[in-house]
Structure 1
Amino acid sequence: MIASIELGDVQVTLTEFEKNPGAYLGDHIVAVMDHGKPVGYAIGADIFEHLVALVETGAKQTAVPGRFHLTPELMQRIANDDGRSILKMSPDDFENFSE
């Protein structure tokens, strides 16, 4: 099971993303928002290559290493919801992490 507090380490409006998409690509997931709702997600090359590697090896493994990036933005979101997002996670959500 994959835990998800919110998809997207960074959020940007569709208008801003269209102006300069390269400015938002890196080693984080970008949620592209329109009228407050996600319309897509953008990822940098490193994350894409990691996902491809997971797909290629996924059939051979039952568990794959996690990539947990606790960014300041994610910490702020957790703090803003008083940690309710973490409380909803199961013990399985926290297992099999490697960094």
Structure 2
Amino acid sequence: MATQTLLTDETVSMTDFRKHPAEYFGDKPVAVLSNNKPTGYVIGAALFEQLMALLEQAAPEVRAQFNPSASRLAAIAARGAELLAHASDEQLGEFTEV
């Protein structure tokens, strides 16, 4: 029989997690189980930010996996500008430029 390692003290079934997901985004990680096996871990924003800061210190290249590059952001902005420039009044609805 294969064993599964749990990296946290708290667990929740996938069924319960789906019912009330916001309850599990706290300051401690929670293992989400499916068929009594861990399928993932849920952590709150503050803990995620702490983990990212530590990970970036150890391996700076990791940040690129979570943040779009400058060229990707420029492409997204250009596409947005193009869509706005060619949008009809109906598509824009009640949009007003500030």
Q: Normalization by structure 2: what TM-score?
A: 0.52
Which consecutive unaligned segments of at least 5 residues does structure 2 have? Answer: 61-98
| Matching of residue 8 in structure 1 with residue 8 in structure 2 | yes
User: Which residue identity is paired with 1:27?
Assistant: D
Distance 1:31 1:25 in 2: 11
Alignment match, 2:49: 49
Q: How does 1:1-99 map to 2 (within 5 A)?
A: 6-59=6-59
Distance 2:9 2:33 in 1: 13
Distance change (3 Å), C-alpha of 1:13 and 1:59 = closer
Report SS of the residue matched to 2:32. strand
Which consecutive unaligned segments of at least 5 residues does structure 1 have? Answer: 61-99
> Max radius of gyration: which structure?
2
Distance 1:40 1:59 in 2: 22
Highest relative contact order (Cα 8 Å, sep 6+), 1 or 2?
1
Superposed CA RMSD: 1.8
Distance 1:33 1:24 in 2: 13
Report SS of the residue matched to 1:54. helix
Task: Answer yes or no: is the 8 Å Cα contact 2:25–2:42 preserved in 1.
Answer: yes
User: Which residue identity is paired with 1:26?
Assistant: G
Q: Normalization by structure 1: what TM-score?
A: 0.51
Distance 1:14 1:29 in 2: 15
Distance change (3 Å), C-alpha of 1:59 and 1:38 = closer
User: Which residue identity is paired with 1:34?
Assistant: S
**Aligned residues between the structures:** 56
Distance 2:22 2:39 in 1: 17
1:8 deviates by: 2.1
% same residue = 48
